Structures are given as structure tokens and as C-alpha cells.
């Protein structure tokens, strides 16, 4: 049902980062806590959103794993909580049927999700990307990968010194790919993020093709296709 801890053998180990697990199912909490400890992370658990907010106010946390089935999710989402200074990235645990509700709200790389039933290898891989960025750098309002930079404040993107002339849809697509660097994004995920609805394979392929030409022109290819799965951004070798 959940996969085995041995599945993580091909995933890089943690370096003692502190992960807070927020779930009211004891089986899920125990599985994740045991797996994370074996994988080189430090873990803590709480059963409520209120408990998570309190823990974040008391101690530094590198990442939060949050079950979306918990009541009072708005208490965690809406904030800001004045006592919480550091806001760590969040990995959401969600049923597949609820993806349409959470995908539009996912931020540029500071949030990710895995669907239930959980697969341990996938959980560890998502944690690795959220914690390490794998070549992605972030500062307030800006995402950057190598010489590709996106600025949310000015709504502009550039590749090196070259400003990219992007449509709003192309800008949102690039933001989504940058925020999920090295992660293969399905066509449905892309459509939900860019338009809030699925518009068919042809519309997505055309959008990706236009953005790929603008981004890849005259430089290292950064936008790639994983045939049958979707698209990803990064240096070749990270997602194929």
C-alpha cells in the first residue's frame, strides 16, 4: 500500500534536516517518521494544525509534511501567524481526487504534493527537491536557474542579458517549471496551474513549444520533454 523503506535506496540521503509531520493517522505518522530517520533526517510529529503552528513558533523546522485531510487547514493556509518567523516549504499529502483543489494554490517551488496511498520513494524524492532546490535559487519575488531568471515583481523573465518576451500564459508556465525544477510535470498539472482547467493536449503542446523556443534560444537547453509523462526544466540528465 505504501511501498517499502527499501525503495529509497536510489534517493540521496538527508543531512539532518528537521522535518515536521502533521497528520492525525498514527500509521502515516509512524511510517513517515521511521522512514525519515532511516534516510538521515530528524523528524517530529503533531496531530493538529494548531500543534504545527505552535511547533513552528518554538523551533526551526526545515520542511513540513501536511495531511490535507486535517480539519482547520485554513488555519495553516491563511496566516500570517506573527509568532512564526520562518516559513518552511510544505509537502502536502492529498488524495488524487483532491488535486484539482490544491494545484492552483501551489506556490513557485515552496510547495509540492504526493498523492495517497503514499509511495516512500516519491515522498523522499519530493523532500529532496524542496530542501535542496537542485540548482534553483530563490529570493523574494525571484526564481533563477543558471542564467534563467524570473521576476514576479516586474513580471519579466530573462535568459542571461536577453529579456524574454512572454505572454501571461507563457510566464505562468515558466514560473511553474522553474518552481518545480527537475520534476516532470504532467500536461494536466500544467493546464490546471496555467489556466485553472484542462484544455487538451494540443493547447499545452503549443504553449510549451512557444516557451521552449524563447527560453532555449542561443543557450543550453533547459526545457525538456519526457515522452508519455510531461515536461521538466533543468540541465539535461536531471529529469530524463
Q: Give the domain ranges of the chain.
A: 5-134, 140-233
Please state the rounded mean pLDDT for residues 12-21: 80
Average pLDDT taken over every residue of the chain: 79
Q: Quick check: 147 and 160 in contact, CB under 8 A?
A: yes
The per-residue pLDDT for 196 is 83
Residue with cell 509512524: 30
Distances 49 to 81, 103, 130 between C-alpha atoms, Å:
12, 20, 21
Distances 94 to 19, 23, 75, 82, 85 between C-alpha atoms, Å:
18, 11, 17, 27, 26
Answer yes or no: same fold for 5-134 and 140-233.
no
Q: Flag whether pLDDT at 230 surpasses 80.
A: yes
Most confident of 91-105, 157-171, 225-239: 157-171
Q: Flag whether pLDDT at 164 surpasses 70.
A: yes
pTM: 0.51
Q: Flag whether pLDDT at 129 surpasses 70.
A: yes
The per-residue pLDDT for 47 is 94
DSSP 236: T
Could you tell me the pLDDT band of residue 53, with boundaries at 50, 70 and 90? confident
Could you tell me the pLDDT band of residue 233, with boundaries at 50, 70 and 90? very high
pLDDT: which is higher, 183 or 237: 183
The per-residue pLDDT for 36 is 94
The per-residue pLDDT for 1 is 42
The per-residue pLDDT for 33 is 95
Q: Flag whether pLDDT at 32 surpasses 90.
A: yes
What is the architecture, at CATH level 2, of domain 140-233? Orthogonal Bundle (1.10)
Handedness of CA 74, 78, 84, 86 (dihedral sign): positive
Q: CATH fold of 5-134, please?
A: Rossmann fold (3.40.50)
Amino acid at each position: 500500500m505504501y511501498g517499502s523503506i527499501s525503495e529509497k535506496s536510489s534517493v540521496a540521503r538527508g543531512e539532518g534536516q528537521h522535518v515536521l509531520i502533521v497528520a492525525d493517522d498514527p500509521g502515516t505518522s509512524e511510517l513517515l517518521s521511521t522512514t525519515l530517520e532511516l534516510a538521515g533526517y530528524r523528524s517530529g510529529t503533531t496531530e493538529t494544525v494548531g500543534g504545527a503552528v505552535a511547533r513552528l513558533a518554538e523551533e526551526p523546522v526545515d520542511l513540513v509534511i501536511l495531511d490535507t485531510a486535517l480539519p482547520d487547514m485554513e488555519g495553516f493556509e491563511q496566516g500570517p501567524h506573527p509568532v512564526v518567523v520562518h516559513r518552511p516549504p510544505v509537502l502536502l499529502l492529498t488524495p488524487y481526487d483532491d488535486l484539482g483543489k490544491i494545484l492552483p494554490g501551489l506556490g513557485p517551488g515552496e510547495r509540492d504534493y504526493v498523492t495517497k496511498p503514499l509511495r516512500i520513494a516519491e515522498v523522499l524524492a519530493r523532500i529532496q527537491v524542496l530542501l535542496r532546490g537542485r540548482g534553483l535559487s530563490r529570493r523574494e519575488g525571484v526564481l533563477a536557474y543558471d542564467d534563467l531568471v524570473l521576476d514576479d515583481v516586474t513580471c519579466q523573465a530573462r535568459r542571461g542579458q536577453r529579456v524574454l518576451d512572454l505572454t501571461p500564459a507563457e510566464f505562468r508556465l515558466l514560473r511553474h517549471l522553474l518552481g518545480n525544477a527537475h520534476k516532470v510535470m504532467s500536461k494536466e498539472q500544467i493546464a490546471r496551474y496555467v489556466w485553472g482547467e484542462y484544455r487538451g493536449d494540443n493547447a499545452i503542446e503549443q504553449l510549451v513549444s512557444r516557451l521552449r523556443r524563447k527560453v532555449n534560444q542561443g543557450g543550453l537547453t533547459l526545457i525538456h520533454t519526457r515522452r508519455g509523462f510531461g515536461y521538466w526544466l533543468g540541465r539535461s540528465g536531471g529529469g530524463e
